Amino acid sequence: MERRRVVITGIGMITAVGLTRDETWKGLLAGRSGVGPITSFDTTDYKVNFAAEADDFDPTVAMDLKDARKADRYAQFGVCAADEAVNQANPGDIDPERAGVLIGSGIGGMITFETQHSRLVARGPSRVSPMFIPMMIADMATGLVSIRFGYRGPNYATVSACASAGHAIVAAAMHIMLGDADLMVTGGAEASVSPMALAGFANMKALSTRNDDPAKASRPFDAGRDGFVLGEGAGIIVLEELERAKARGAEIIAEVAGYGATGDAYHMTQPENEGNGMRNAMRLAIETAGIQPNDVGYINAHGTSTPFNDKIETKAIRDLFGEHATELAVSSTKSMTGHLLGAAGGVETGFTALALKHGVLPPTINYETPDPECGLFVCPNEAVTRDVDYALSNSFGFGGHNVSLCLRRWND
């Protein structure tokens, strides 16, 4: 069976850099950090007191106040970003049985879980909200978005830590490629800037501890990197079957050309030392796109700013691309947005698509001291103007989950 082609016709974003797609993209190209002191709770006793929060987010821009109160912050992010993406795509009349929703989240309703547990301990079981379970579960962003638009096609969520949104986009694209759907709303949403999450990540020494200079804490590929910065938000894209999109005159942002998904089978939190799983995910993405490694011009790296991830991802890129690795442009937008965990692949696939469309590659900010083990061109500190035909977006998660998406610049 011939594989149907899949294109991106809508993008919606909520990040610490901006509360819309355009605001976030403009901030990225300007190299603006979204990291600062945490304002949502008291961090006096914590080892880390900063994060990349989506300040001033108001869910009522897209949700009724009553409905917003019944949704965890992560699901609010998902609904609002989906609203922006679908409005841009403007899909017109579509058979609701042929349109689906697939949104990933690594943790789901973390804030709701913590709030309701505190209520249980302080006031007893009768005081736990009857909405606790539907607000907490990790599939509810998908459920609420499908209800909002009436889409009754493929409908579920992926949970694979920081690869969740990447897996969601892969699965959504496959549903269209195989003929199960004509349109899919997909990506990721996460809201884990919370007391338990901050304490847990800090105690496992995964977070940067640059409390004296939060804006410079996330420094992927820099020799002084000391951990990632917790972020929150959502990145949602609308995928559509190519012929349908063309027939209705849709603005096509980029094409999903290929994908790769692998497992490390190595360690709960640390990537496999040789980067084999990362390399194979990128290799499969290139192969399913029907191109050669030298055709890839840009990689939006997972680039967490942790000592292990960045050097191992660099090794995987060097091993796969050989001499071409010196010509590639690579950047980590986590230097500005922080690490959105399960939503990372959603916003970063959106960034990659916009980079292809506009011919501008976002920078890796806070790059001051080169690391010999990370000797790639990382678009240091300033956006790079460069036309690229093919790009990869990488997402790697705890548990050894690896996803790489290959996007093609749209040129009819």
Just list the catalytic residues.
162, 302, 339
Q: Which of 339, 356, 326, 373 is nearest to 25 (CA)?
A: 356
- Contact partners, residue 50, CB within 8 Å, separation at least 6: 35, 36, 37, 38, 210, 211, 214, 217, 229
Tell me how far apart the alpha carbons of residues 171 and 177 are, in angstroms, rounded to a whole number.
10
**Gyration radius (Cα) of the chain, Å:** 20
Tell me the backbone φ, ψ of residue 206, rounded to 5 degrees: -90, -20
Q: Is 206 left (phi over 0), alpha (psi -120 to 50) or beta?
A: alpha
> The tokens of 267 are what?
């360690």
| Strand-pair partners of 390 | 296, 408
Beta bridge partners of 395: 403
Q: Centre a 10 Å sphere on the Cβ of residue 256 and count the other Cβ atoms it contains.
A: 28
